[in-house]
Structure formats: C-alpha cells, structure tokens
Amino acid sequence: MNKNIQFQDLGLKDYKATWEYQEELFKGIVDLKIRNRREETDFDTPNYFLFVEHPHVYTLGKSGALENMLLSEKQLEDKGATFYKINRGGDITYHGPGQIVGYPILDLDNFFTDIHKYLRFLEEAVILTLKEYGLESERSPGETGVWFDVGTPKARKICALGVKSSRWVTMHGFAFNINSDLSYFGNIIPCGIADKKVTSLEKELERKMDFEEVKNKVKTHLIELFEMEII
C-alpha cells in the first residue's frame, strides 16, 4: 500500500481546466490499476491532493436539479460566473475566490476501501481545523459537509462535499468557505436544500482570515487522519 501523496497547490485556476487535470490524474491511476490486474504486476499507484481556488463558478452534480440554479445565462455572464454540469455526486454548489477547494485523487486501496469513512475523514479535517479557531462544528444527519447549529433555525453550512469514485479511485472533493463572497450563494439553492444557510470562517469570526494559514491546518489534519507521507 502506497501512502505517499503529492500535494499540489494550483492557486487560482479555471474550473474546467482543473477538472480536465483531475480527470487526467484519475485516469492515470485507474489505467495503472487495470494494467496491474491484467498483467499481474504490482506497480504502486500514485496519490494526489490538489488545493485550488476557482473564479466564480456554479457546478451541478449528477443527482442535482437544474431548477436549483436561479440565474439565466445572461445573469451568469453579468456576474462574471460560469456554470458546469459535472460527474460528481451531490446537487448544485458554488466555488469562488476565498474558498479552499480540495481535490483528493487517491487510490483508496492504498488507505481503506470505505467511501463513507473517506467522506467522514474529509469532514473531520475541516471540523478539527475549525476547532483550532475556537469553533464547534458538526455533521448533519443524512447530509454531507460541515455545519454549525444543526437542528436549529440557525443551521448553516461552512463546507460542502461532492465526490466521484470508480475502482476505489476518488476525484472532486470539498469546498470550505474562508473569505468567500457569500452573496453568490443567493443565486442557487445550495446543495438543493432550500431552508439551510451558508457561512464562512470570516463571517463566523468577524475578521478576514489568513487563507494560507487555514489551508495549512487543513492539510496537516488530512495527513494525520489518512496517515499520509508527503513526497
């Protein structure tokens, strides 16, 4: 089992270009697994973790409803945003500047073959990061992501999850609102949940956050949870 991981920080990068890059890395791992099985070889499969910020973009997952996008093409253009239907689970979400997006492209055969445990570990890295800032967050039963004040009228989501997995190889991942412009969420029904609000670390702590500091804390918790080795 190869627990080595290559972390790549892509900075601010177009959504479509990043998606294509994810697909390329994903396909490389899947192809190697197929070759290992077919040729009875035992080459290590690589693992990648991409951090990125996207320009304003809305993405709709396979289980999503188009009516959860409340803007026309013209309105999207006016807001400088783009829109894509994509091959992850989940409904509609927003990505934009000030948001940490994490795309783990892992061969879970190197870690554990349990997609629910995988999702819980991604959530846990964010929960532990928020705890470092004195914030108690939690999961919401029956929903993915990280939330505050679950089960109350003040329930609000700070981190969304949406992943794809094939042959135990993962892609897509999580979106953690740090200094995000939350007004962009007003143009969609986030994750298809009409009565839930969204928030950001900046909004919760009422101050602009050090983006790189938060990202490094998330990275540290991911490495510990997955028992990864950085290469």
* Angle at which helices 115-132 and 211-226 cross, to 10°: 140
pLDDT digits (tens, 9 = 90+) for 166-176: 999 999 999 99
3-state secondary structure at position 133: coil
Checking if the pLDDT of 177 tops 90, the result is yes
The secondary structure of 185-216 as a DSSP string is GGGB-GGG-TT-EE--HHHHHTS---HHHHHH
- Compare 8 and 162 and report the one with higher pLDDT: 8
pLDDT digits (tens, 9 = 90+) for 216-229: 999 999 999 999 99
Give the catalytic positions in this structure: 191
pLDDT reported for residue 81: 94
Checking if the pLDDT of 193 tops 90, the result is no
Q: Residue 151 sits in a domain of what CATH number?
A: 3.30.930.10
The C-alpha atoms of residue 188 and residue 121 are separated, in whole angstroms, by 27
- Compare 190 and 45 and report the one with higher pLDDT: 45
pLDDT digits (tens, 9 = 90+) for 49-92: 999 999 999 988 887 888 888 888 899 989 999 998 887 877 78
pLDDT reported for residue 16: 93
Contact 85, 57 (CB under 8 A): no
Checking if the pLDDT of 185 tops 80, the result is yes
Q: How many residues can be counted in the chain?
A: 231
pLDDT reported for residue 133: 98
The secondary structure of 144-189 as a DSSP string is -SEEESTTSTT-EEEEEEEEEEETTEEEEEEEEESS--GGGGGGB-
pLDDT reported for residue 190: 66
Checking if the pLDDT of 17 tops 70, the result is yes
Query: Residue 145 region, left (φ>0) first, then alpha (ψ -120 to 50), else beta?
Result: left
Q: Which amino acid is at 3?
A: K
- Compare 92 and 13 and report the one with higher pLDDT: 13
6 pLDDT band, cuts 50/70/90, is very high
Checking if the pLDDT of 164 tops 70, the result is yes
Once rounded to an integer, what is the mean pLDDT over residues 34-58? 97
Q: Which amino acid is at 171?
A: M
The C-alpha atoms of residue 122 and residue 119 are separated, in whole angstroms, by 5
Contact 153, 142 (CB under 8 A): no
Once rounded to an integer, what is the mean pLDDT over residues 4-31? 97
Its domain, for residue 103, covers: 4-230
The C-alpha atoms of residue 46 and residue 1 are separated, in whole angstroms, by 10
**What is the tally of structural domains in the chain?**
1
